[in-house]
Structure 1
Amino acid sequence: MTALLAVEGLHSGYGHVEVLRGIDLQVQPGEIVALLGSNGAGKSTFNNTVSGIVPARRGRILFDGHAIAGTHYRAIVQAGLIQVPEGRRIFPNLSVLENLELGSFTRARERRGPNLERVFGIFPRLRERTRQLAGTLSGGEQQMLAIGRGLMAEPRLLILDEPSLGLSPLLVEELFGLIGRLHGEGLAILLVEQNVGQSLEIAQRAYVMENGLVEFSGTPSELLASDRLRKAYLGL
């Protein structure tokens, strides 16, 4: 099976600072892959490089077999690789509906109506708040909005960057239930998280990143079976 996302020897960074130092990673169609690591490990830089926001310096990024390193981020979105960034990045002075509609600005605009209904089916609270300014939503509702906006683009691969950050334990449970539901519908997900336990419960494979390098790749059971890895990189 051809990987939906294949990253080979990826180097990236900012100015004179090299953050990623040769990353190899794959996501298969319909698979949840967990990308784990502490703050500063390079996870968000990886996401932004794959998404075309930060330029790759060396290496290959293939999406559905097509090279996308150096491609404009808008073309990457059009191909179906969608990122829900850390911190939600909603537009606080726009309404919930306007935020959602912006999700389909580049991709799936002609199916905006049906996709809105799908998002409202997943997040009924957003339907109740369509005219409300996004900045007045609770933290959990803002995360719903950010994910809903990503779904409006009909992603083939959804990158979720720290989606549980700042959420209450109850909302974290709801979030991971949603991720499992989207996976059940066949959506491929790259889950970038510090919530190690719940990420490993739903992922088929996992990568552990440290200092811009992949220190482990394999199944969650293989990762949890290694005392060294659990203690050194996961704090378990």
Structure 2
Amino acid sequence: MTALLDIQGLRGGYGRVEVLRGVDLQVNAGEMVALLGSNGAGKSTLNKMVCGLCPAWSGSVRFDGKDLSGAHYRDVVKAGLIQVPEGRKVFPNLSVLENLELGSFTRARERRAANVEKMFHIFPRLRERMAQHAGTMSGGEQQMLAIARGLMAEPVLLILDEPSLGLSPRLVEEMFTLIRELRDGGLAVLLVEQNVGQSLEIADRAYVLENGSVRFSGLPGELLGSDELRRAYLGL
């Protein structure tokens, strides 16, 4: 089977500092893959390189049969590879509706109205706050808006970068329930998280990054079943 997202030998960094050291990673259609690792492991740098926000030094990124190595971020979005960034990055002075509409600026613009209604069905709280400025919403509501904005582009693969960061335990539970529902609906998801336990509960496969290299790839049960791996890479 050809992977939907196929990353081979990705290297890169900032200035002279190498952050990624030859990363290989694959996500198949309809699959939930967890990318785990501590702060500074290279997770966000990998996301930026895959999405065209930061140039790679070497290696390749293929997505849905297309070579996206070095592609402009607009072309990455047009291909259906959509990222929900760490920290939500909603537009605080725009309304909830305006934030949603911007999600379809590059892709799926002709179905914008229908997709807004779909988002309001998935996230009823966003309908209630349709005219509210995004910056006045709670952290959990902003995260819902960020995910809904990403879904407005009708992604083929959705990258979620630390979606549970800064949320209360109750909202974390809600967030992982939503992510599971997206996967169950057939959407391929690359989940980049520090919440190891809940990520592995819903993932089909997992990768662990350490110092810019993949130290483990395989089934969640294999990772959790090894005392050595759990201690070395997960702190469990």
Shared fold per TM-score greater than 0.5? yes
Q: Which amino acid aligns with 1:162?
A: E
Superposition misfits of 4+ residues, deviation over 6 angstroms: none
- The SS at the match of 2:209 is strand
Q: Which amino acid aligns with 1:73?
A: Y
TM-score by length of 2: 0.99
Q: RMSD over aligned Cα, in angstroms?
A: 0.5
Q: Number of residues paired by the alignment?
A: 236
- The SS at the match of 2:233 is helix
Measured after TM superposition, the shift of residue 146 of structure 1 is 0.3
Measured after TM superposition, the shift of residue 229 of structure 1 is 1.0
Q: Which amino acid aligns with 2:191?
A: L
Q: Which amino acid aligns with 2:110?
A: E
Measured after TM superposition, the shift of residue 164 of structure 1 is 0.1
- The SS at the match of 1:23 is strand
| In the alignment, structure 1 residue 50 sits paired with structure 2 residue 50 | yes
Measured after TM superposition, the shift of residue 117 of structure 1 is 1.0
Task: Mark the runs of 5 or more structure 2 residues left unpaired by the alignment.
Answer: none
- Aligned twin of 2:147: 147
Give deviations 1:61-80, integer Å, cap 9, x for gaps: 00012110111000000000
- Aligned twin of 1:17: 17
Measured after TM superposition, the shift of residue 184 of structure 1 is 1.0
Q: Which amino acid aligns with 1:72?
A: H
State the alpha-carbon separation in 2 of the partners of residues 234 and 122 from structure 1.
Answer: 32
Give deviations 1:19-60, integer Å, cap 9, x for gaps: 000000000000000000000000000001000000111001
- Aligned twin of 1:67: 67
Q: Which amino acid aligns with 1:132?
A: Q
Q: Which amino acid aligns with 2:205?
A: R
Q: Matches of residues 24-43 of structure 1 in structure 2 within 5 Å? A: 24-43=24-43
Task: Mark the runs of 5 or more structure 1 residues left unpaired by the alignment.
Answer: none
- The SS at the match of 1:35 is strand
State the alpha-carbon separation in 1 of the partners of residues 176 and 202 from structure 2.
Answer: 8
TM-score by length of 1: 0.99
State the alpha-carbon separation in 1 of the partners of residues 148 and 93 from structure 2.
Answer: 17
Q: Which amino acid aligns with 1:51?
A: C
Identity of aligned residues (%): 74
| In the alignment, structure 1 residue 201 sits paired with structure 2 residue 201 | yes
Q: Which amino acid aligns with 2:215?
A: E
Give deviations 1:123-160, integer Å, cap 9, x for gaps: 10000111100000000000000000000000000000
Q: Which amino acid aligns with 1:209?
A: L
- Aligned twin of 1:157: 157
State the alpha-carbon separation in 1 of the partners of residues 18 and 95 from structure 2.
Answer: 39
Measured after TM superposition, the shift of residue 10 of structure 1 is 0.3
Measured after TM superposition, the shift of residue 89 of structure 1 is 0.5
Q: Matches of residues 1-236 of structure 1 in structure 2 within 5 Å? A: 1-236=1-236
State the alpha-carbon separation in 2 of the partners of residues 61 and 226 from structure 1.
Answer: 31
